[in-house]
Each structure stands twice: as structure tokens, then as C-alpha cells.
Structure 1
């Protein structure tokens, strides 16, 4: 069940719980993304395109710039796509984009996410997304 709040960043508590929990192997991140109608670059005006773009366009730019860094870190996109409605789940909960990203370990994910170049590029994601979910999945 959702609480109606938008989720855009990892909370300190959730980050500590994830990185502090056992597990050394690969991790797959399930990303559910809802885009803004118009990307909001107020937090990073130096990265804003000359004319307004949609959230989907800003996210596409984020992925184009981020993919080489992700691949260099040992990560890979397993799936990137769209979906309409849940087959099982709330009919009103609609996501614009679904992404599965694999990293070799939590440590490699943290190194990738905290890299200064990666952090700068993430401003495009921030401009693009109005709500998201990120669910780490470990193999049994």
C-alpha cells in the first residue's frame, strides 16, 4: 500500500539499512519511475537545455550520459521499458518506465553512485522524475 508521498532520494535510514545488511554478491535494482510532464532543472540550471523538455526526454539524456559510467563500474542495464497497468496491483498506480540494473555488489553500487561525475549526471534524473521506487533484489 502506498502513502501518497513522492519518493525521489534514498533516505539516510534506508541507505544505512541496505549498505549495512549482509550480502556480498550481485544486486539487481528494480526501478519504477514516474516522469514530470516538464523537466524541472531549478536545482541545476547549468544543465538545463535551452528549451523546456519533458521528464521522459530529461531521463533519456540521463541514461545516455550515465550508461558509460555504469558499464565502467561493472554494472549493466538488464531491462529498460514501459508498462501500462499492473496485472496484480493497484489499478491507479501507473509507472512511466521500468528499469532493472545489475551491479556486482553493494560496494560497486555505492562507488558508482558516489562518483562525482555520476552525481553530476544524476541532476538530469532529478529533473525528470516526480516519483520513483528503487527495490534492491539479491539472488537466493
Structure 2
């Protein structure tokens, strides 16, 4: 089974090519490791092993100040599980909605050195992920008579 942990250059280019004007909301679906794997970032590893969920909580705590400074906001963080409609046996442990004022602001946030210094907590925590940029769609007029 293929996993997805980081965006590709092609996907990043495609996001810019969409020409999104204004706010963008990122839908994150996350499958977490049973035990966090800090092999790629041993300098961030805690003294004792922790779960992927605990490592992701450390990532959130590290990230929120930089997200807020960049004009972004965490709109929703929730616990997931199996789908009601979707592939049987597929699960996502966490779902998250992150709002940013623009694609450019999102990219600046994602490239901020201080933010990147704690990205290893996410790497240690996440087994698989999906990230879907969303743009608000206007609701259709509905006759409510």
C-alpha cells in the first residue's frame, strides 16, 4: 500500500496553478503510528517511547504559534475512525481543518524555519496522510417558502 507523507513538487505547482484567490482551508486526514518513529529526527525524540498520537500532539503544540502568526487558524481537530461511507477497514485517526488567508500565506508558513524545526514530530507520528486544499463554494439560492 502506498503512503503519502509530503507534497510533491508537481502537486505544489498544481496548487499554485489553480489560481485560488483568498482563503483556503486544508482538509487533513491522518493515520498515526502505534509508536512514534523518531529515527529521522532523533534530536526531537523524547526519553521514553511515545505513541504516534502523542507525537502528533507535540507537533500541534509546536505548530500553533507559527500558524497563528502567519494569519492561519486551526478550525477543527477531531478523532476519526472507520468510514460510514467508504472503504471497509480504512481508517483515519485524526481529521483537521486548517484555514489560511491565501495559498501564498500557507506556503510561507510551511517554509518558516522555526516551524520546520518541529516538523520531525509530525514525521514521527504520521503513518499516512491526505491533504486536500478546499475553497469555499457558494451555497445555491434555495426557495424556503
What TM-score comes out, normalization by structure 1 length? 0.94
Q: C-alpha distance in 1, partners of 2:120/2:101?
A: 24
The match for 2:64 is 67
1:49 pairs, out of 38, 46, 50, with: 46
Report matched runs for 1:1-140 at 5 Å. 4-140=1-137
SS in 2 for 1:96: strand
After superposition, what is the alpha-carbon deviation per residue over 1:73-116, rounded to whole angstroms, capped at 9, x for unaligned?
11001110112221211121100000000000000000000000
What TM-score comes out, normalization by structure 2 length? 0.91
SS in 2 for 1:82: strand
Structure 2 unmatched ranges of 5 or more? 138-145
Q: C-alpha distance in 2, partners of 1:16/1:24?
A: 15
Q: C-alpha distance in 1, partners of 2:81/2:50?
A: 22
Structure 1 unmatched ranges of 5 or more? none
SS in 2 for 1:92: coil
Q: C-alpha distance in 1, partners of 2:107/2:28?
A: 16
User: Once the 2 structures are TM-superposed, how far is the Cα of residue 19 of structure 1 from its aligned partner?
Assistant: 1.9
Q: What is the number of residues matched between the two proteins? A: 137
SS in 2 for 1:95: strand
Q: Which has the larger radius of gyration?
A: 2
